[in-house]
């Protein structure tokens, strides 16, 4: 006789035994939705947020009146705090736990699991539902989830409510830790941006530095050079690119057949600590990006201008100076906007504007301070990624 496989997770809290059981979602639960709201009953602002499939779990873009909300909540179906809302169209299967705050939801496109918690507590049920790949139901690609599909859907459930509560409480604590780390990352990033603005605007100074920042033409800080790769110093694997988020980065992720189609001998060379301007090829976004090459020696396409940084400036300081989009665009607007039209941003124009910056020693002090803050932000980001990976492993082991 074939041995029946036990339905137990590989990681389990002590004191709990017994197989997990398959149970249809509709066994004890009902699938409900709100009373229909028509377009002329909504407004762009108002008393009670009205969520649609595109805004569930995010920021609402529609509202209904307090009077209508009170009437419909009293007369028709309405979710209870803790129950799971699910999008049934568009991005199917987005799950959000109802927090009990006054809000209303788009009928048929958003439903909720009316769960009396006889067989599954809401927090545990939410965890089960968020682990499902709703893009396929019964092995069929779907664009909509219907009520009958949800009722018939089978979940493997821990056999007792106390075990479910223990799992949900533990994973809830993990989620709170991840959210705390994310919040810390956001606050550090905001702090760094605020301090950087004050340092660059001469509103905040380090001890020992006095006197006004000095105004320089950018041509006094940068020198354009154009050195192509005709001598073949660099190979196809030495191609670099500019990322708006990460600066100059390797392009090793390019497929080899893409490499083979690149005439890298026509590319321009860039050396470590060069300053780089990526020309814009868009008429709707005429400004490109200034970035320091903090990656390595390599090649850039002819869409880039490369500059040597002169002795009056620190490459990393200039990187911070132009990292603020508003500051960079204000500078570029001065040098490429003539009347009501944008002129070609060639190197002469780019270098013709002025910047107000501190002395080289103060630049280095500012740069060192901001780099330390960047390292802290990166450390917290790594902690977030590690915690998320840990949670992913837990989910794989704590459920059947």
pLDDT digits (tens, 9 = 90+) for 146-159: 888 899 989 999 99
Tell me what pLDDT residue 256 has. Answer: 45
Which helix (DSSP H) or strand (DSSP E) does residue 161 occupy? Answer: helix 161-200
Question: Strand 48-51 vs strand 104-105: parallel, antiparallel, or unpaired?
Answer: parallel
The better pLDDT of the pair 24, 256 is held by 24
Provide mean pLDDT across the span 64-87: 96
Judged against a pLDDT cut of 50, whether residue 255 lies above it is answered with no
Amino acid 328: pLDDT:
85
* Residue 263 in this model has a pLDDT that exceeds 80: no
pLDDT of residue 85: 97
The C-alpha angle 363, 369, 375, rounded to 5 degrees, equals 130
Long-range (24+ apart) CB contacts under 8 A made by 15-18 are 16/158, 16/160, 16/162, 16/163, 16/166, 18/159, 18/160
| Torsion region of 97: left, alpha or beta (phi above 0 gives left; psi -120 to 50 gives alpha) | beta
**Mean pLDDT, residues 30-43:** 95
Determine if the pTM surpasses 0.85: no
pLDDT at 369 over 50: yes
pLDDT exceeds 80 at position 137: no
pLDDT band of residue 1 (cuts 50, 70, 90) is very low
Q: Is residue 261 predicted with pLDDT exceeding 80?
A: no
């Amino acid at each position: 006789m074939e041995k029946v496989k036990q339905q137990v997770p590989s990681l389990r809290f002590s004191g709990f035994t017994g197989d997990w059981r398959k149970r249809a979602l509709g066994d004890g639960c009902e699938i409900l939705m709100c009373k229909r709201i028509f377009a002329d009953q909504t407004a762009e602002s108002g008393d009670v947020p009205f969520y649609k499939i595109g805004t569930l779990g995010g920021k609402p873009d529609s509202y209904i009146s307090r009077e209508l909300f009170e009437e419909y909540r009293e007369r028709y179906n309405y979710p209870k705090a803790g129950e799971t809302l699910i999008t049934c169209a568009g991005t199917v299967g987005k799950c959000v736990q109802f927090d009990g705050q006054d809000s209303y939801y788009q009928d048929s496109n958003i439903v909720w699991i009316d769960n009396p918690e006889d067989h599954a507590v809401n927090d545990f049920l939410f965890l089960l539902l968020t682990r499902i790949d709703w893009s396929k139901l019964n092995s069929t690609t779907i664009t909509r989830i219907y009520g009958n599909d949800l009722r018939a859907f089978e979940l493997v459930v821990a056999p007792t409510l106390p075990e479910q509560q223990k799992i949900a409480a533990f994973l809830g604590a993990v989620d709170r830790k991840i959210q705390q780390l994310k919040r810390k990352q956001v606050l550090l990033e905001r702090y760094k941006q605020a301090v950087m603005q004050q340092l660059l605007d001469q509103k905040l100074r380090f001890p020992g530095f006095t006197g006004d920042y000095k105004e320089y033409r950018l041509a006094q800080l940068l020198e354009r050079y154009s050195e192509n790769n005709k001598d073949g110093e660099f190979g196809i694997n030495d191609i670099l690119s500019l990322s708006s988020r990460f600066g100059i980065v390797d392009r090793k992720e390019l497929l080899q057949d893409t490499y083979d189609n690149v005439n890298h001998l026509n590319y321009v060379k860039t050396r470590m600590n060069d300053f780089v301007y990526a020309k814009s090829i868009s008429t709707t976004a005429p400004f490109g990006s200034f970035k320091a090459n903090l990656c390595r020696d390599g090649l850039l396409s002819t869409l880039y201008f490369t500059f040597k940084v002169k002795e009056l400036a620190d490459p990393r300081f200039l990187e911070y100076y132009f990292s603020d989009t508003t500051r960079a665009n204000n500078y570029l607007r001065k040098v490429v906007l003539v009347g009501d039209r944008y002129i070609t941003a060639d190197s002469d124009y780019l270098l013709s504007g002025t910047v107000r910056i501190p002395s080289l020693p103060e630049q280095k002090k500012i740069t060192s301070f901001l780099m330390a803050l960047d390292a802290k932000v990166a450390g917290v980001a790594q902690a977030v990624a590690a915690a998320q990976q840990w949670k992913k492993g837990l989910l794989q082991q704590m459920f059947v």
